[in-house]
Amino acid sequence: KQEVTQIPAALSVPEGENLVLNCSFTDSAIYNLQWFRQDPGKGLTSLLLIQSSQREQTSGRLNASLDKSSGRSTLYIAASQPGDSATYLCAVRSSGYSTLTFGKGTMLLVSP
């Protein structure tokens, strides 16, 4: 059974810092990996999707990397802003499955 772990559970940084969020998964036989953002009281919004054959994906100030063999992914946020404050969730789609397994998320607070 796939398990997804996110470290740290919470992170507080001053505005402007570059930061890294970590995600690890137990079964390396994955189809793809996604990073989602969740704002308080809201649903999830997909940020980046990395296929198993890819090493990284970039969108604006966000960069996600994937090391399938070691079961790890990182989400890099450059020049953080207060508007980046949210919970970031990592989700893995295992090979042969159509469903996602989610980590518990990292709650990020960027202070002005």
Q: Which residues bind another protein (CB under 8 A)?
A: 34, 41-46, 49, 89, 93, 98-105
Whose structure tokens read 């079964």?
27
Residue (18 or 95) nearer to another protein, CB: 95
Residue (80 or 93) nearer to another protein, CB: 93
In the complex, minimum distance from the CB of residue 14 to another protein, in angstroms, rounded to a whole number: 27
In the complex, minimum distance from the CB of residue 24 to another protein, in angstroms, rounded to a whole number: 14
Q: Tell me how far apart the alpha carbons of residues 88 and 110 are, in angstroms, rounded to a whole number.
A: 13
CA atoms 7, 105, 102, 36: torsion sign = negative
